[in-house]
């Protein structure tokens, strides 16, 4: 279907009757409305179009550049693609090292505490044994 045959192929006078003005509008009125409808629909094929703007391409390029500043500026590109990921990786490694050291420290600390407690218990047992011997 093309522009030319739109009016013919979509026109259906019988189907459109129920949409016509109520109250028994006379034939002249109906004809006028139908004529105006067709004239208005005729505009579909005669709408003016916009001319090409000479700055259009420059505008598109400007928007593309504005949307990708890092890709265009080497310093920013280096910062975003190299420095930031390296810093993040370093941060992760440091966190892991700190966590492992903390676990080791706690473990050695609890071992020392246990050894101290064992020694204390032995001393106490020896003291109790001495005291018992003296009583006898």
Binding site for another protein (CB under 8 A): 1-3, 6-7, 9-12, 15-16, 19-21, 25, 29, 32-34, 36-37, 39-41, 43-53, 56-57, 59-60, 63-64, 67
For the bound state, the minimum distance from the C-beta of residue 83 to another protein, rounded and expressed in Å, comes to 25
For the bound state, the minimum distance from the C-beta of residue 37 to another protein, rounded and expressed in Å, comes to 5
List C-alpha distances in Å: 76 to 18, 24, 62, 63, 83. 67, 75, 18, 18, 10
Is the CB of 21 or the CB of 132 nearer to another protein? 21
At 52, list the tokens.
């090409």
Distance CA 31, CA 36 (A): 9
The torsion angles phi and psi of 71, rounded to 5 degrees, stand at -70, -25
For the bound state, the minimum distance from the C-beta of residue 23 to another protein, rounded and expressed in Å, comes to 10
Is the CB of 43 or the CB of 133 nearer to another protein? 43
């Amino acid at each position: 279907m093309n522009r030319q045959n739109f009016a013919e192929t979509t026109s259906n006078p019988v189907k459109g009757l129920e949409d016509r003005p109520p109250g028994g509008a006379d034939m002249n009125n109906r004809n006028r409305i139908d004529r105006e409808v067709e004239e208005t629909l005729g505009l579909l094929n005669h709408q003016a179009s916009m001319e090409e703007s000479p700055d259009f391409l420059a505008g598109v390029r400007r928007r593309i550049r504005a949307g990708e500043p890092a890709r265009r500026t080497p310093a920013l590109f280096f910062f975003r693609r190299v420095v930031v990921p390296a810093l993040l990786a370093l941060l992760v490694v440091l966190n892991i090292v700190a966590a492992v050291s903390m676990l080791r420290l706690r473990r050695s600390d609890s071992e020392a505490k246990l050894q101290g407690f064992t020694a204390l218990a032995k001393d106490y047992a020896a003291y109790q044994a001495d005291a018992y011997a003296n009583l006898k």
